[in-house]
Amino acid sequence: PVLVLRPSLSLHPSQGVSLGENVTLRCHLPQLAAWVWLYQEGHQTYCNYKYKKQDTADFSFLNTNREHAGRYWCQYRLPWSAVDSEKSDPVELVLTDRSFPPPSISLSPEECVEMGTNVTIQCWNKDYGATFLLHKDGCSAPIQRQDLDVVGTATFTIFGVTPADSGTYRCSYRPWGHPFLSSPLGSNVILEVTPTPAPPGGSQPHLSTLGATHEWLCHLLSL
Ligand SMILES: *[C@@H]1O[C@H](CO)[C@@H](O)[C@H](O)[C@H]1NC(C)=O
Ligand SMILES: *[C@@H]1O[C@H](CO)[C@@H](O)[C@H](O)[C@H]1NC(C)=O
């Protein structure tokens, strides 16, 4: 039996691509491949490549349109055999469609809040908004997501805020019936959490000095 390692697929740029811009889906090949295929959900083989000597195969879409938005996988075949790899994990190509209006946003309570408060952020678009995503500036991925049964308003709660939750928040939405299209980001709200004095003997992390671990904090927030 031949060992065939699984490929992986990545997007470049990884997010925030608007309709009409270029994007590349890159299939990472752990072994020499004779053929590389890219599949889009709901379609036949989308593209293929013959005889790749490189360890990656790029599938580039120039001037993207709505048809390009969707879920993709790649797969390859070993040379001199009919042995195919498993498909990669799927990757979602979400394209920003600026013809959809940005969502509105509100923050409650509005003022500086103390540590431990539950804070609510509402995002709405009464005409199209079906799935809402909450973004925090400085985090590469959305930190919360909500799928609504009807078009309208999403309510995100950040329970027991800490100074690490301070920052600028915005929303986007996926229009009803278009899971791989995104509205533009809406305007922002700013959350400011005032630290309460540390309990005697307690040690509080100095979050402002943890610049390098910012992405780690984003990860923590999205749990
Ligand atoms: C897309 O790629 C083409 C060909 O490489 C280039 O001419 C064009 O400027 C690119 N468009 C954008 C929006 O980057
Ligand atoms: C925050 O929400 C949780 C869960 O609903 C609740 O148990 C807790 O009492 C709330 N805390 C404050 C400070 O309101």
The pLDDT tens digits for 136-152 are: 999 988 999 999 888 89
Q: Which residue's alpha carbon is nearest to atom 10 within ligand 1?
A: 22
CA 63 – ligand 1 centroid, Å: 7
> How confident is the model at residue 5, as a pLDDT?
93
What pLDDT shows up at residue 149? 85
Instruction: Please tell me the distance from the alpha carbon of residue 184 to that of residue 90, in angstroms, as a whole number.
Output: 24
Say whether 104-195 and 8-96 share the same fold: yes
pLDDT at residue 67, rounded to an integer: 92
Least confident interval from 120-124, 130-134, 174-178, 202-206:
202-206
Cα separation, 187 vs 215, in Å, equals 22
With a cut of 70, say whether residue 217 has pLDDT above it: no
Spans of all domains in the chain: 8-96, 104-195
Q: Which atom of ligand 1 is closest in space to residue 20's alpha carbon?
A: 13
154-191 tens-digit pLDDT: 999 999 999 999 999 999 999 999 999 999 999 999 99
Cβ of 21 less than 6 Å from ligand 1: yes
Token readout for 182 is 């995104």
Q: Residue 195: what pLDDT?
A: 83
- 118 Cβ closer than 6 Å to some ligand 2 atom: yes
- pLDDT given at position 206: 45
List, for residues 43-67, the tens digit of each pLDDT value: 866 666 666 678 999 999 999 999 9
Pairwise CA distance, residues 156 & 170, whole Å: 12
Residue 215 in this model has a pLDDT that exceeds 70: no
Specify the pLDDT at position 48.
64
CB atoms within 10 A of CB 69: 21
H or E, element range at 75: strand 70-77
What is the dotted CATH code of the domain comprising 104-195?
2.60.40.10
pTM: 0.81
pLDDT of amino acid 110: 85
Q: Find, among 146, 157, 140, the residue nearest to 214 by Cα.
A: 140
| pLDDT for the residue numbered 209 | 40
Q: What is the pLDDT of residues 83-119, one digit of tens each?
A: 899 999 999 999 999 999 999 999 999 878 999 999 9
Class of domain 8-96: mainly beta
Out of 159, 161, 193, give the residue to mutate to test ligand 2, the one with the largest number of ligand atoms within 8 Å of its CB. Answer: 159
pLDDT at 79: 85
Statement: residue 213 has pLDDT above 80: no
